[in-house]
């Protein structure tokens, strides 16, 4: 902790020296014009480097003052017009004119948020196009791990869930194209069913923003939003091809989009296949992966009415490492002690049991009515269908019969009124979870109905150099569950465990809210402070689990007496933009009442006819989270660039005065890149370094194995971009992950008990646009 504080102090001193090393007295004048009638556009929201807001000298004319020399990014937002971004390099006073087009539809943007809009007093980070391209081929959690404060909770090589400031799963909201993503999020092996290729903008918000989309965002929000569809072409296609050496994988993605009159569309498809993955020294048996995803978006506008439709399908079959499914207690302890599989595996594309087969469908209908230039009403209906099958090794031949077959259906309806600096709405949801019969096993979670109603209001108030925000939300949830469970208090003489029909009904309701302030301190620094109140009802697995979780190789036991979590998070951010250097530091603290966690029981295992598994039980205590995130990006000169991220989170069980399990240790990410001059074949070369510290804040003898040692990883990237004729481009990227083939284990990986993480991978990525 002292080391991190010293690093942050050094950063603050370093950036302050650079920030005041130059005079910042330049002026930028921006004029906005309508593309159709060439009239000035007033009342627009402009942001320079996501912070600075201008004065509107006259309708359509905006003035930024006290700017520094160097490159800056300008973002323009106006209701009814296409959102626009522009890169500007300031060397003297500058005046520019920007033309905005009406009715530009948006699609495929991925945003991870802990706060929401750019101008709001919230801490948000958006991945750049370069970062997204470098992360092509990774799942959503892997894509987001490039952001300071975001870690990954893994279940082997194929599965990962994002972790924001120590919180994950149901404590993070995933907003996919304006719809709250609903799936079997309770499993640590249940990765978000989202195709990263369908997301072209990714933003992470780290505050407890619980107003618009629901009360559960104790850790933050991950928002997947659409990008603008081309309006000047009837058809434009893009194609991506990705080869991976580790797993000998191939991934293909194709997109087609365009605009015909008032109708816009976009369609995409992704398919991929990968075989057994390899650690530094050995293959990981049964870790293949097959995927097929697709999406379709359409929009039509007539007068003040806009109609939108979005359809998506996610399909994935992935193997579960065979070494995690073990026969006896002695065997499991011996494997943990050995630290790697006893068996020798070879490469194969075959995916056998244990495995998972997951499909997720989303259909959304949206209607917008423009009341006037600055206000609108939005109505949205969506339906989702999540089907999860988990297969285990059976003693008879019917391995294609799943051990768990769970079907979750969710319908959502939302009505929202919005105008500048004000938003209000109501929402409702109907959710039904059914265990499909015919598996021959008792489901780990029961059948249940989960219904909810909510209403919210949010207000922003600009005042001089400040922006104030406040919002409040009320939610009611009804939970009705029924299913069979084991009664371990009535074990028969021959060792049989009887079952009984469990039925339970629960009602939850509470208020959540947010209050924040942001201030432009001067031309260089911006300060943001956000206080968020959120709550979360316990999920079905936390309440009622009683069985083998095949994807994680564990036996989980729930607790019907769990109460709702209530969290209060305070986050303060100081950002700096000096042209050649951009930096941000976040300090956060959060108290969570009735924090629910899965605690390993190292002196117990649960033996079943399927084998012997580590025992995990759900518990609830008062918890305190605190930490800091630091990120900097420095243009050393015209060619060289250096980036640094440091993330620290610590968590304590206040009730028992103990450390909480499954909390990531501090990490450091840095990169050094050389950028070639424009119009050359090569674009840039980048070297990355990732340091993950050992988790020392844990309770001895509280886990099946002590946290693994710290490790260093190095990656290398070589990128090239070639402009072809007729607006065609070709982009190539050669990357090497884990250059030195380091053998390591990660504390946040559930399969670290049995095997090491991935070894070296060489990837070739090719992107064409026609």
pLDDT, tens digit (0-9, with 9 covering 90-100), for 657-705: 999 988 999 999 999 999 988 778 899 999 999 999 999 998 888 887 8
Query: Is pLDDT above 50 for 482?
Result: yes
Question: What sign does the dihedral 417-422-423-424 (CA atoms) show?
Answer: negative
> How much is the pLDDT for 723?
82
Average pLDDT over the chain reads: 85
CA distance 133 to 502: 49
> What's the average model confidence in pLDDT over 289-301?
95
Check which CATH number belongs to the domain holding 347 and give it: 2.40.170.20
Kindly give, in sequence order, each residue whose CB lies less than 8 Å from that of residue 274, ignoring residues fewer than 6 positions away. Answer: 244, 247, 248, 249, 250, 288, 289, 290, 349
Q: Is 5 a domain residue?
A: yes
Check which CATH number belongs to the domain holding 6 and give it: 2.60.40.1120
Which residue, 61, 80, 102, sits at the end of a domain? 102
**Contact call for residues 691 and 710 (beta carbons, < 8 A):** yes
Kindly give, in sequence order, each residue whose CB lies less than 8 Å from that of residue 450, ignoring residues fewer than 6 positions away. Answer: 429, 431, 432, 433, 477, 478, 479, 540
- Cis peptide leading into residue 384 (ω within 30°): no
* Residue showing tokens 């108030």: 461
Whose CA is closest to 185, among 443, 562, 542, 533?
Answer: 542
CA distance 117 to 209: 11
Q: Is 133 a domain residue?
A: no
Query: Is pLDDT above 80 for 527?
Result: yes
> What's the average model confidence in pLDDT over 57-83?
76
Query: Is pLDDT above 50 for 373?
Result: yes
Q: What is the pLDDT of residues 163-195, one digit of tens each?
A: 999 998 889 999 999 999 998 876 666 788 988
Q: Is 80 a domain residue?
A: yes
> How much is the pLDDT for 545?
87
**Contact call for residues 148 and 156 (beta carbons, < 8 A):** no
Q: What is the pLDDT of residues 226-237, one digit of tens each?
A: 777 888 889 989
Q: Which of 51-60, 488-497, 724-733, 757-766 has the highest mean pLDDT?
A: 757-766
Sort strands 172-176 and 220-228 into parallel, antiparallel or unpaired: parallel
| One domain, residues 93 and 233 | no
Q: Is 162 a domain residue?
A: no
Which residue, 71, 102, 133, sits at the end of a domain? 102
Structure tokens at 54: 């201008």
Considering only residues 360 and 600, tell me which one the structure prediction assigns the higher pLDDT: 360
CA distance 595 to 653: 9
> How much is the pLDDT for 126?
78
Phi, psi angle pair for 409, to nearest 5° = -120, 135
| One domain, residues 94 and 242 | no
Query: Is pLDDT above 50 for 643?
Result: yes
Sort strands 611-635 and 554-557 into parallel, antiparallel or unpaired: parallel
**Contact call for residues 462 and 469 (beta carbons, < 8 A):** no
Provide the pLDDT confidence category of residue 214 given band limits of 50, 70 and 90.
confident
Q: Is 135 a domain residue?
A: no
Question: What sign does the dihedral 618-619-622-623 (CA atoms) show?
Answer: negative
3-state secondary structure of 143: helix
> How much is the pLDDT for 409?
97
Which residue, 65, 86, 102, sits at the end of a domain? 102
Query: Is pLDDT above 80 for 22?
Result: no
Provide the pLDDT confidence category of residue 552 given band limits of 50, 70 and 90.
low
How many distinct structural domains can be found in the chain?
2
| One domain, residues 487 and 634 | yes
Whole-model pTM: value is 0.81
3-state secondary structure of 41: coil
> How much is the pLDDT for 325?
62
Q: Is 170 a domain residue?
A: no
Domain ranges, residue 448? 220-769
> How much is the pLDDT for 317?
94
Structure tokens at 515: 């209050």
Query: Is pLDDT above 70 for 328?
Result: no
DSSP state of 209: -
CA distance 500 to 439: 18
CA distance 379 to 364: 11
Considering only residues 751 and 185, tell me which one the structure prediction assigns the higher pLDDT: 751
Paired strand residues for 516? 469, 530
% of residues, the chain, pLDDT over 70: 87
> How much is the pLDDT for 10?
45
Kindly provide the b/e burial profile for residues 421-460, where b requires at least 16 CB atoms within 10 angstroms of the residue's own CB: bebebebebebebebeeebebbbbbbbbebebebebbbeb
Q: What is the pLDDT of residues 438-447, one digit of tens each?
A: 887 888 889 9
> How much is the pLDDT for 20?
41
CA distance 32 to 49: 18
> How much is the pLDDT for 291?
95
Q: Is 190 a domain residue?
A: no
> How much is the pLDDT for 21?
44
Task: List Cβ<8 Å contacts ≥24 apart for 495-502.
Answer: 499/442, 502/446, 502/544
Q: Is 154 a domain residue?
A: no
Query: Is pLDDT above 80 for 541?
Result: yes
Considering only residues 295 and 499, tell me which one the structure prediction assigns the higher pLDDT: 295
């Amino acid at each position: 902790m002292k080391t991190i504080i010293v690093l942050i102090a050094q950063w603050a001193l370093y950036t302050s020296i650079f920030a005041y090393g130059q005079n910042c007295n330049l002026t930028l004048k921006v004029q906005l014009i309508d593309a159709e009638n060439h009239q000035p556009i007033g009342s627009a929201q402009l942001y320079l480097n996501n912070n600075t807001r201008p004065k509107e000298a006259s309708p359509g004319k905006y003035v930024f003052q006290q700017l520094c020399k160097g490159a800056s990014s300008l973002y323009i937002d106006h209701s009814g017009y296409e959102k626009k971004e522009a890169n500007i390099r300031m060397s003297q006073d500058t005046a520019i004119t920007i033309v905005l087009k009406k009715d530009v539809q948006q699609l495929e943007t991925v945003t991870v948020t802990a706060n929401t809009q750019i101008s709001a007093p919230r801490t948000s980070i958006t991945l750049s196009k370069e970062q997204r391209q470098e992360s092509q081929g990774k799942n959503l959690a892997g894509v987001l791990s490039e952001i300071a404060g975001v870690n990954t909770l893994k279940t082997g090589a194929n599965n990962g869930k994002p972790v924001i400031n120590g919180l994950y799963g149901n404590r993070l909201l995933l907003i996919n194209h304006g719809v709250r993503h609903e799936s079997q999020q309770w499993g640590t092996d249940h990765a978000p069913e989202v195709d990263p290729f369908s997301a072209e903008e990714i933003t992470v918000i780290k505050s407890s923003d619980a107003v618009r989309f629901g009360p559960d965002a104790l850790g933050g929000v991950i928002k997947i939003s659409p990008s603008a569809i081309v309006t000047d072409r009837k058809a434009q296609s893009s194609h991506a091809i990705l080869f991976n050496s580790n797993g000998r994988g191939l991934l293909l993605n194709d997109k087609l989009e365009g605009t015909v009159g008032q109708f816009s569309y976009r369609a995409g498809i992704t398919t991929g296949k990968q075989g057994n993955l390899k650690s530094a020294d050995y293959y990981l048996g049964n870790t293949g992966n097959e995927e097929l995803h697709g999406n379709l978006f359409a929009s039509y506008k007539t007068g003040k009415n806009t109609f939108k439709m979005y359809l998506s399908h996610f399909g994935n079959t992935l193997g579960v490492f065979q070494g995690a499914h073990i026969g006896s207690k002695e065997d499991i302890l011996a494997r943990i002690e050995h630290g790697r599989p006893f068996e020798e595996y070879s490469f194969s594309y075959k995916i056998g049991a244990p495995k998972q087969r997951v499909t997720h469908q989303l259909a959304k209908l949206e209607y917008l009515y423009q009341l006037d230039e600055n206000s609108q009403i939005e109505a949205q209906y969506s339906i989702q269908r999540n089907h999860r099958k988990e297969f285990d090794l059976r003693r008879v031949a019917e391995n294609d019969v799943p051990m768990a077959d769970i079907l979750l259906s969710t319908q959502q309806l939302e009505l929202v009124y919005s105008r500048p600096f004000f938003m209000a709405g109501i929402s409702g949801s109907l959710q039904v979870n059914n265990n499909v019969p015919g598996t021959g096993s008792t489901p780990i979670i029961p059948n249940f109905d989960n219904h909810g109603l909510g209403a919210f209001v949010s207000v922003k108030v600009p005042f001089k150099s400040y922006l104030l925000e406040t919002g409040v939300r009320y939610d009611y949830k009804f939970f009705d569950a029924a299913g069979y469970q084991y009664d371990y208090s009535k074990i028969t003489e021959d060792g049989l465990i009887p079952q009984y029909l469990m039925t339970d009904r629960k009602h939850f309701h509470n208020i959540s809210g947010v209050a924040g302030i942001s201030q432009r301190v001067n031309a260089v620094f911006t300060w943001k402070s956000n206080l968020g109140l959120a709550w979360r009802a316990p999920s079905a697995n936390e309440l009622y689990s009683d069985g083998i979780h095949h994807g994680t190789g564990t036996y989980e036991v729930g607790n019907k007496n769990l109460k709702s979590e209530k969290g209060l998070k305070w986050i303060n951010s100081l950002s700096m933009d000096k042209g050649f250097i951009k930096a941000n530091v976040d300090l956060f603290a959060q108290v969570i009442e009735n924090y629910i966690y899965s605690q390993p029981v190292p002196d117990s295992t649960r033996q079943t006819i399927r084998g012997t598994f580590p025992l995990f039980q759900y518990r609830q205590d008062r918890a305190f989270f605190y930490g800091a995130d630091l990120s900097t990006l420095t243009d050393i000169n015209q060619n060289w660039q250096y980036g640094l991220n440091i993330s620290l989170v610590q968590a304590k069980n206040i009730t028992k005065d103990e450390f909480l399990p499954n909390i990531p240790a501090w990490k450091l990410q840095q990169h050094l890149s050389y950028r070639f001059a424009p119009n050359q074949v090569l674009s840039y070369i980048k070297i990355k370094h990732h340091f993950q510290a050992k988790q020392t804040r844990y309770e001895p003898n509280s886990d099946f194995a002590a946290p693994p040692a710290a490790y260093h990883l190095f990656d290398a990237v070589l990128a090239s971009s070639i402009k072809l004729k007729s607006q065609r481009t070709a982009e190539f990227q050669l990357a090497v992950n884990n250059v030195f083939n380091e053998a390591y284990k990660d504390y946040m990986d559930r399969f670290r008990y049995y095997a090491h993480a991935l070894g070296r991978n060489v990837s070739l990525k090719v992107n064409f646009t026609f």
